[in-house]
Amino acid sequence: MKFEVLTIFPEIIECYIKHGVLGKALNKGIVEVKVYNLRDFTSDKHKKVDDYPYGGGAGMVMQIEPFYNAIMHLKADEKPRKLVLLSPQGRKFTQKLAQKFMEESKAMVLICGRYEGIDERVKAFVDEEVSIGDYVLSGGELAALVIIDSVVRLIPGALGDELSAVEDSFMKGFLDYPHYTRPEDFKGMKVPEVLLSGDHKKIALWRKRQALKNTLKNRPDLLKNLSPEDMRILKELC
């Protein structure tokens, strides 16, 4: 899978992708990330990317020209790619959308805005607008990294052979179960006995109960299409 990121701060992306799962996936060749500086697609000597808003108002607006020039440059190879604008006005990014992107897109262009926003006419050249949550950021770069990270983790082979339970549970519609590791007793804070029992059936049931309990407490909105078994467990918790 290939990600092409349009930004005025390439170093934000380049620094993050070197580490952890993403770094390993890059080294394995499972994913490719190319970062383009929008300033390289300007036509003035000051490499200007923004200007004052028509109609007045605070702040600056990013101009369409650098985005247009960068998008046309990428499209010159005529390869299919999904163009995604990161913005607070977009549709909500979820684990399910991460899975859809991983399954459907061989290449994604992640377009990062800054300042007070970008010229509305840029949207004529994108496939969709995506938000990572109900808040405003100083730039789309963090959102681009969230999308790259969560999509890459889903690519077969990216996580080695241990697919994280987190993706699995989110895909099933509830939060993750609690995790513990050594020591067994830290200043009197003990690991739950069941996890030391070696009884895998009991452990699986305990983890499911804890996951449903966490979800009921923090994200009841996720509890929609539970299986009859999960519903039975949930009813016991209420």
Single out the catalytic residue among 39, 53, 65, 116: 116
As given in the structure block, the two tokens for residue 86 are 């990161």
CA distances from 22 to 18, 186, 236 (A): 7, 32, 40
**3-class secondary-structure state, position 194:** helix
Task: Using CB under 6 A, count the residues that bind ligand J9T.
Answer: 13
Single out the catalytic residue among 4, 10, 50, 153: 153
As given in the structure block, the two tokens for residue 67 are 């985005």
- Contact between 139 and ligand J9T per CB under 6 A: yes
Q: How far is the CB of 118 from ligand J9T (least distance, A)?
A: 8
Q: How far is the CB of 117 from ligand J9T (least distance, A)?
A: 7
Cα 194 to Cα 184: distance, rounded to the nearest angstrom: 12
Cα 234 to Cα 238: distance, rounded to the nearest angstrom: 7
Closer CB to ligand J9T, 126 or 234, in the complex: 126
CB atoms near residue 175 (< 10 Å):
19
* Known active-site residue 80: no
| Chain centre distance of CA 160 | 19
Single out the catalytic residue among 168, 184, 193, 199: 168
- Contact between 140 and ligand J9T per CB under 6 A: yes
* Known active-site residue 199: no
* Known active-site residue 88: yes
- Contact between 87 and ligand J9T per CB under 6 A: yes
The only residue of 40, 52, 91, 136 in contact with ligand J9T, by rule CB under 6 A:
136
**3-class secondary-structure state, position 182:** coil
- Contact between 113 and ligand J9T per CB under 6 A: yes
* Known active-site residue 134: no
Cα 234 to Cα 78: distance, rounded to the nearest angstrom: 51
Catalytic positions are: 88, 116, 153, 168
**Contacts with ligand J9T, residue ranges (CB under 6 A):** 86-88, 113, 131-133, 135-137, 139-140, 143
